[in-house]
Homo-oligomer: A and B are copies of this chain.
Amino acid sequence: MNETIKNILSHRSIRRFKDEPIPQETIETLVQCAQAASTSSYQQVYSIIGVEEQSLKDKLAELAGDQSYVAQNGYFFVFCLDYHRHQLMAEMTGGNVDATVQSKEGFMVGMIDVALASQNLAVAAESLGLGIVYIGGIRNNLREVSELLRCPDHVVPLFGMAVGFPDASPGLKPRLPQEAVFHKNQYKDDEKALPVLKEFEMKTAEYYKERTGGARDEGWATQMARTMAQPKRTYMKEFIESKGLDKQ
């Protein structure tokens, strides 16, 4: 097992950082790593906002649901789906890319492009001994986040990422068994999947029981059924369309 794979397999989200900024040179390297990721048809449908001003970070932390590590970290990135650049370039060259930008397929391409770039950045950061945590919480109030960061039409902040020198050392969180998520040739039948998932239910119940000293013993399936019972961020469809995306 090489260093890269060791590094990938030891990922855990870090939610407490030392009060120590990350050098600008490192930030540049991390963004360079993000940009090195594959991108659909060379489109590069992303922008990355490096939020450095403490007042902006504080405001983001509040909008993300009072998550302290959004304000207190070595650096804070916001990853955006971005077709504004393509609109600008189409204008410049006398073209029209509206139908692509507004399409479901275009939206999917953008989502994927952004996430590939961000994960490169995450792996690169962790290889340098930094810790990271993805912040989906910025989608709690995306209209406000988008205004705060002055994102124009066709630009949607998808998630944040806090990066920094770790000041915590949480254990690895167990993942679904490989058998449950990995299928050979074709998607496997439920009869094959169910025993594996039931075993995982017991394993995760045990995991939480140990970590909480018995206060919590909810398995993965029970947790999912509970946390997914109510849909989240139900304004999202309207908001995304208001940005001129994912309309047809």
Contact = CB atoms under 8 A, between A and B. Distances in A.
A175 B45 CA distance: 12
A112 interface: yes
A101 interface: yes
Contact of A197 (B13, B49, B85): B85
Nearest to A101: B228
Majority-rule SS of A interface residues: helix
Copies, count: 2
Interface stretch (A61-69, A149-157, A163-171, A209-217): A149-157
A242 interface: no
Contact of A90 (B5, B139, B224, B237): B224
For A32, A36, A155, which residue has the most chain B Cβ atoms within 10 angstroms? A36
Contact of A182 (B50, B108, B176): B50
Contact of A41 (B94, B99, B136, B229): B136
Given A111-B111, A183-B50, A186-B150, A222 B93 contact: yes
Contacts of A33: 5, 8-9
Interface residues of A, number: 121
A109 B194 CA distance: 24
Contacts of A104: 236-237, 240, 246
A26 to B, nearest CB: 10
Contacts of A36: 8-11, 175
A244 interface: no
A17 interface: no
A236 B193 CA distance: 28
Contact of A53 (B7, B175, B178, B185): B185
9 contacts: A3-B4, A8-B120, A13-B38, A82-B181, A89-B224, A90-B221, A95-B229, A97-B229, A119-B119
User: What 7 pairs across the A-B complex have the smallest Cβ distances?
Assistant: A95-B225, A115-B115, A4-B127, A89-B221, A119-B119, A99-B231, A97-B228
